[in-house]
């Protein structure tokens, strides 16, 4: 649901990672990015509204549009909505590179995603 809501607002590079073996913070991370502060807010609002319609409310919300990173904590799932610049800087995909991609680029492991992003930065 979170992924679909983010993609409905044209979020870029949406990934759902299974982080159960790597952290006790959550079972899954949904990571998405936008190209403007306005889009980051729209993505986060869409996720909040979609899950609220399903009766699911976040335990906690952190971050801001101005900071370029909004975190929506739904206990077992944490949604990270980044501005593209902040996503590159914090690089959660590299930090959690041992995570299994549940949803994302078909057939591509997280190491491949990290390599692809590094290559894009060089161009």
CB-count exposure of residue 39 (10 Å: 0-12, 13-18, 19+): buried
Domain ranges of the chain: 2-122
Residue corresponding to tokens 């975190």: 71
Torsions phi, psi of 88, nearest 5?
A: -65, -40
- Cα distance between residue 46 and residue 10, in whole Å: 11
Rg, the chain, Cα only: 14
97 and 31 in contact (C-beta within 8 Å)?
A: no
Residue 123 above 70 pLDDT? no
Architecture of the domain made up of 2-122: 2-Layer Sandwich (3.30)
pLDDT digits (tens, 9 = 90+) for 21-67: 999 999 999 999 999 999 999 999 999 999 999 999 999 999 988 88
What does pTM read for this prediction? 0.82
Residue 112 above 80 pLDDT? no
Of 114 and 57, more confident: 57
pLDDT digits (tens, 9 = 90+) for 59-97: 999 998 888 999 999 999 999 999 999 999 999 999 999
């Amino acid at each position: 649901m979170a992924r679909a809501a983010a993609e409905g607002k044209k979020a870029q590079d949406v990934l759902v990672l299974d982080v159960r073996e790597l952290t006790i913070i959550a079972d899954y991370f949904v990571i998405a990015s936008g190209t403007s502060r306005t889009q980051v807010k729209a993505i986060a609002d869409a996720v909040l509204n979609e899950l609220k319609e399903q009766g699911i409310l976040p335990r906690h919300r952190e971050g801001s549009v101005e900071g370029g990173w909004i975190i929506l904590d739904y206990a077992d799932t944490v949604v990270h909505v980044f501005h593209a610049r902040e996503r590159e800087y914090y690089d959660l995909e590299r930090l959690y590179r041992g995570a299994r991609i549940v949803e994302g680029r078909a057939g591509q492991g997280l190491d491949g995603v990290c390599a692809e992003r590094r290559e894009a930065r060089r161009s």
